């Protein structure tokens, strides 16, 4: 089982819809999660990060961690065509390792 599992999509929604992107993880040892966004032909860029459980909000984006179900989510409100990209969840596996472990990414298409 991969450490971080993510539905690859593609996910297609109309402009203005609320989008929910989800990841599950298998190892509960350390919980620091990040969401990266990757546009076509570009490298990933950090969108949000969250530590432990609960919600974190930044504009139209909300990151949520549910420790009990080992589930992390990214919600996008009022989605825009410019949100069309691949979204990657990632986590640090432990405090000592400086590299992130990534999910496989979910491709999102927001239709105008």
Partner 1 sequence: DVKVTQSSRYLVKRTGEKVFLECVQDMDHENMFWYRQDPGLGLRLIYFSYDVKMKEKGDIPEGYSVSREKKERFSLILESASTNQTSMYLCASSGLTGVNSPLHFGNGTRLTVT
CB atoms within 10 A of CB 27: 14
User: Is residue 92 close enough to count as binding partner 1 by CB under 8 A?
Assistant: yes
Taking the least distance from each CB to partner 1, the nearer of 89 and 110 is 89
Q: Which long-range contacts (CB under 8 A, 24 or more apart) does 81-84 make?
A: 81/15, 81/110, 81/111, 81/112, 82/110, 83/19, 83/108, 83/110, 84/108, 84/109, 84/110
Largest CA distance in the chain: 44
Residue 8 within binding range of partner 1, rule CB under 8 A: yes
Asked if 46 is part of the footprint of partner 1 (rule: CB under 8 A), the reply reads yes
From 14-22, 54-62, 64-72, 92-100, span contacting partner 1 (CB under 8 A): 92-100
43 binds partner 1 (CB under 8 A): yes
* Minimum separation from the CB atom of position 42 to partner 1 (A): 5
Positions touching partner 1 (CB under 8 A) are: 6, 8, 32, 34, 41-46, 49, 51, 88, 92, 95, 98-105
């Amino acid at each position: 089982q991969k450490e971080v599992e993510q539905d690859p999509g593609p996910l297609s929604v109309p402009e203005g819809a609320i989008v929910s992107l989800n990841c599950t993880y298998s190892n509960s040892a350390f919980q620091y999660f990040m969401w990266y966004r990757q546009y076509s032909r570009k490298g990933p860029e950090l969108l949000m990060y969250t530590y432990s459980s609960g919600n974190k909000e930044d504009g139209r984006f909300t990151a949520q961690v549910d420790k009990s179900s080992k589930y992390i989510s990214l919600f996008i409100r009022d989605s825009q065509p410019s949100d069309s990209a691949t979204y990657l969840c990632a986590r640090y596996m432990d405090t000592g390792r400086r590299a992130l472990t990534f999910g496989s990414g979910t491709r999102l298409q927001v239709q105008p």
